């Protein structure tokens, strides 16, 4: 495995770790200490790594020249019944915290690339960080359970629709084969289009590359 592949996977791992820590931090701020008590509010990647989602899948995607790179860490546990703040928006706030961190990282490194545009090494690093975090932010906002977008969508739907959608979401989250099966189906059907869209957004942020 080349240094470039390891480099991309390392950026992905740190990005998904920050994504998951943000979920746990948001839940803790809303009154649920589950993630904190389980030691998940840490940047130590070993605590968050998922062998399949953090290493095997990203490596396969890179080796097969996939149009985009996706991966995940172990989901940070939380119990919405412990929330003391947020009301009906509690789960949406926790779900949105992960993609929000990825957006912030993408914007920070966009600025870095634009400031140091004459330094090829910085531009290459910054482009990779922006690309991966744009991908994570947008991909996780797709409303397919168990992705974060499903929790946000349920919070904004009218009550009757939210109830029905919530049942579907619960079914897919309880059975990971169904949930991730739907995600994989999306990747198979729309991976090329999605990858092109992610590259277009990244280029729009940092300029020509």
Active-site positions?
Answer: 20
Cβ-contact 34, 82 below 8 angstroms: yes
Q: H-type helices in the chain, by residue range?
A: 3-29, 34-37, 45-48, 57-63, 90-115, 120-140, 148-156, 159-174, 176-206
Cα separation values, 161 from 90, 93, 155, 164, 169, Å: 18, 20, 10, 5, 12
């Amino acid at each position: 495995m080349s240094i470039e592949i390891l480099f991309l996977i390392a950026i992905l791992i740190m990005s998904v770790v920050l994504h998951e820590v943000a979920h746990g931090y948001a839940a803790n701020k809303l009154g649920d200490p589950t993630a904190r008590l389980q030691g998940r509010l840490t940047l130590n990647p070993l605590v968050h790594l998922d062998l399949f989602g953090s290493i095997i899948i990203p490596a396969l995607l890179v080796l097969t020249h996939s149009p985009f790179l996706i991966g995940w860490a172990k989901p940070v546990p939380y119990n919405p019944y412990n929330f003391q703040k947020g009301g009906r928006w509690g789960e949406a706030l926790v779900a949105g915290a992960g993609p929000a961190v990825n957006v912030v990282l993408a914007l920070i490194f966009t600025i870095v690339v634009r400031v140091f545009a004459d330094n090829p090494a910085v531009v290459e690093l910054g482009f990779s960080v922006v690309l991966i975090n744009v991908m994570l932010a947008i991909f996780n906002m797709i409303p397919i359970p168990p992705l974060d977008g499903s929790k946000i969508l349920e919070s904004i739907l009218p009550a009757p629709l939210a109830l029905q959608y919530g049942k579907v979401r619960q079914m897919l989250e309880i059975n990971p084969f169904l949930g991730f099966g739907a995600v994989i189906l999306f990747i198979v059907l729309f991976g090329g289009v999605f990858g092109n869209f992610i590259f277009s957004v990244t280029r729009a942020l940092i300029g020509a590359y």
